[in-house]
């Protein structure tokens, strides 16, 4: 069953963000992940949530998503994360396509 990393980000430093983004993308691909949403326009329909940029990454399952998040490859991106951006990040389990 697929799993999703959902991130609501605010860029702090554009140069550091590009480094983070490049490193994160390489590590995501290495762990079988793929971007479904990577920024773009946001239309607020209800509530008070006003994100600046949303990123959604799909992984084959929760185990692969967790392995990516804890990986040495992603740790390289985390080295610049705090300078690059602030964010809220969640992991959610997807819905089975069977049935």
Count the domains in the chain: 1
Whether 99 is in a domain gets the answer no
Q: With bands split at pLDDT 50, 70 and 90, how would you rate the model's confidence at 1?
A: very high
Whether 17 is in a domain gets the answer yes
What is the CA 59 to chain-centroid distance, rounded? Answer: 10
Whether 98 is in a domain gets the answer no
Whether 80 is in a domain gets the answer yes
Residue pLDDT, tens place only, 82-97 = 999 999 999 999 998 7
pLDDT of residue 96: 82
Whether 78 is in a domain gets the answer yes
Which residues does 4 contact at the CB level (< 8 Å), separation at least 6? 36, 56, 57, 58, 59, 65, 91, 92, 94
Return the percentage of the chain with pLDDT > 70, whole number: 99
Whether 73 is in a domain gets the answer yes
Whether 86 is in a domain gets the answer yes
Residue pLDDT, tens place only, 12-34 = 999 999 999 999 999 999 999 99
Whether 89 is in a domain gets the answer yes
Question: Does 42 score more than 70 pLDDT?
Answer: yes
Average pLDDT, the chain: 95
Mean pLDDT computed over 48-72:
96
pLDDT of residue 99: 54
Which CATH number goes with the domain that contains 15? 3.30.70.100
Q: Which residues span the domain enclosing 33? A: 3-93
């Amino acid at each position: 069953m697929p799993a999703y990393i959902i991130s609501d980000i605010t860029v702090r430093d554009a140069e550091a963000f590009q480094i983070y983004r490049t490193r994160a993308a390489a590590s995501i691909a290495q762990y079988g992940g793929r971007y479904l949403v990577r920024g773009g326009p946001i239309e607020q329909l209800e509530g008070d949530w006003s994100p600046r940029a949303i990123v959604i990454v799909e992984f084959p399952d929760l185990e692969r998503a967790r392995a990516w998040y804890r990986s040495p490859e992603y740790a390289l991106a985390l080295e610049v994360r705090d300078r690059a951006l602030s964010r809220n990040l969640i992991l959610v389990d997807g819905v089975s396509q069977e049935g």
